[in-house]
Amino acid sequence: MNFQQYENVQDFARIVTPFLEKNEDKFSLFLGVLHRIIEGQYETPFMATIEEEGELLAIFQMTPPHPLNIIFVRENRMEDSIALSINELVKRAIPIHSIISVKEWAYAFADKWKEKTGQRFSVLMDQGLYRLDKVVESLEMSPGTWRYATDEDGVLIEKWYSLFEEDTALPRTLPLEIKKRVKAMLDAKEVFLWENEGKIVSMMKKARPTANGVTVSLVFTPKEERKKGYARTMVAAGSRELLKEFQFCVLYTDMLNPTSNKIYQEIGYQKLIDSVHLGIEK
């Protein structure tokens, strides 16, 4: 078995892309981030594989400060791959603050990491990954209409971005960085808004497009507008629009939030895998 770290993203992509494209929905996060690395949007990505006699066993990707994304291509070799990868990560002093993976894989890695380093993991988000191919036709919609966000909506979206991080217990982003990210989203026409009687009541974002699919993210409704069906309506309308261009949509949900899981299933989203985001306790 050989642990290979890559500095050249094209070399890495050539090895991992065939597998990722065969599993485009399940590993859309890994593939979408890889596309962004290729586009030069990340300066210091970590990319690595484990291979044996030309066979791909595991792949790793990290764009600090985001989590280390781990995929075990050959589950029957997972134990050996975990042992080798942890030894190499520690030996190379690769700083890891969190990991994201299929739940079973993440916990298997975390247990061995704790044995090796003494560092524990805590659950940052227990997630479900869902896929949508068609919006349920009979879905009841809340009043209003959707539109793309414009520069005039920037201040509101910046506020909601911060509130979204607060609601989901994500690491807080500095206001200047939020402003920069929102500007990029607006320039790329990635933000959808639901508006009722002239008031913006919900939003969602298009993220990480791949050859056939796209991710729905940043779904947010302010507290005063919740329990009115706006989030479900926004995601249904936005997803329907995205399906004009893509074969499928995917999204991650918080499994500890039964409401969000229920509304996405009502739209037509079906669970693909259980995933988990684990943080390393210092």
| Dihedral sign computed on CA atoms, order 7, 216, 132, 264 | positive
What number does CATH give the domain 2-119?
3.40.630
**pLDDT exceeds cutoff 90 at 23:** yes
pLDDT in tens, 74-94: 999 999 999 999 999 999 999
- The pair of three-digit structure tokens given for residue 97, joined into one six-digit string: 């603050």
Using CA atoms, how far apart are residues 165 and 161, in angstroms rounded to an integer? 6
| Virtual torsion, Cα 242, 245, 247, 251, nearest 10 deg | -30
CB 143 within 8 A of CB 202: no
Q: If you average pLDDT over residues 140-150, what whole number do you get?
A: 96
Residue 195 has pLDDT above 90, yes or no: yes
Q: What is the mean pLDDT of the chain?
A: 95
The dihedral formed by the CA atoms of 230, 233, 235 and 240, expressed in degrees to the nearest 10:
-160
Confidence of residue 282 (pLDDT cuts 50, 70, 90): confident
CA separation, residue 260 to residues 130, 221, 248, 270 (Å)? 12, 12, 19, 13
**Six-digit token string for 28:** 């859309």
Phi, psi of 196, deg, nearest 5? -130, 120
Average pLDDT over residues 97-107: 97
Where residue 259 falls among pLDDT bands split at 50, 70, 90?
A: confident
Q: For residue 127, what are the contacts with CB-CB under 8 A and spacing of at least 6?
A: 252, 253, 254, 255, 274, 275, 276, 277
How much is the pLDDT for 168? 80
Instruction: Please state the separation of Cα 151 from the chain's center in Å.
Output: 25
Residues of the chain above pLDDT 90, percent: 90
What is the Cα–Cα distance from 240 to 227, expressed in whole angstroms? 22
Question: Where are the domains positioned within the chain?
Answer: 2-119, 132-273
For the entire predicted model, the pTM comes to: 0.89
CATH 3.40.50.300: does it fit domain 132-273?
A: no
Q: Compute the Cα dihedral for 32, 236, 179, 279 and give only its sign.
A: negative
- Taking CA atoms, 170 is separated from 28, 114, 125, 194, in Å, by 20, 23, 9, 24
> Token match 């926004």: residue?
234
Flag whether pLDDT at 169 surpasses 80.
Answer: no
Chain Cα centroid distance, residue 209: 11
Structure tokens at 158: 């910046």
Q: Is the pLDDT of residue 170 over 80?
A: no
Residues 280, 7, 34, CA angle at the centre, nearest 5°?
70
Q: 8-12, 125-129, 267-271: which has the minimum mean pLDDT?
A: 125-129
Residue range 215-225: mean pLDDT, rounded: 96
